[in-house]
Amino acid sequence: MAKTLQVDIVSAEQAIFSGEAELVVAPGEAGELGIMPDHAALLTRIRPGTVRVKRPGEDREEVIYVSGGMLEVQPHVVTVLADTSVRAENLDEEKALEAKRAAEEAIANRSGQMEIAEAQAALAESVAQLAAIRKLRQQR
């Protein structure tokens, strides 16, 4: 039997995933992180993107969108404390596309420094949501 680690993905609104995994892939601040059992201890911020969880004995991965937060890794436990988390199948593609268009428009209009930063954050979040939807479709 393959080694596993305990994975908990939670946000302020809900605990979205808790279970065993062979592999977890998360959007670390400096790039994607692949985490397997016996990984070195690690604490890092995560950026908007998808957390993919490979469950033992399953070909399909759980795909969960996170809008940012913190990732803690211990040798046999991974905890994701997300600002917001949503299962990829529950994301609304039309809403994400509209948010992307609105953010791009706000950036193009370049009102003020703070508004541009907010628009860039909204753009990153909507692009990450669309990527989560695409990853889920690839698995089907």
The CATH number linked to 66 is: 2.60.15.10
Residue 63: domain span: 5-88
Does one domain contain both 70 and 100?
A: no
Calpha distance 96→80 (Å, rounded): 23
- What is the number of domains present in the chain? 2
Domain match, 25 and 44 both: yes
Residues 98 and 115 in one domain: yes
Q: Are residues 68 and 19 in the same domain?
A: yes
pLDDT in tens, 73-122: 999 999 999 988 787 667 677 777 777 777 777 777 766 665 777 777 77
Domain end residue (candidates: 88, 108, 127): 88
CA distance 79 to 93: 27
The owner of tokens 């529950």 is 90
Residues 6+ apart with CB under 8 A from 84: 11, 12, 13, 66, 67, 68
Q: What is the pTM of this model?
A: 0.71
Confidence bin at 1 (pLDDT 50/70/90): low
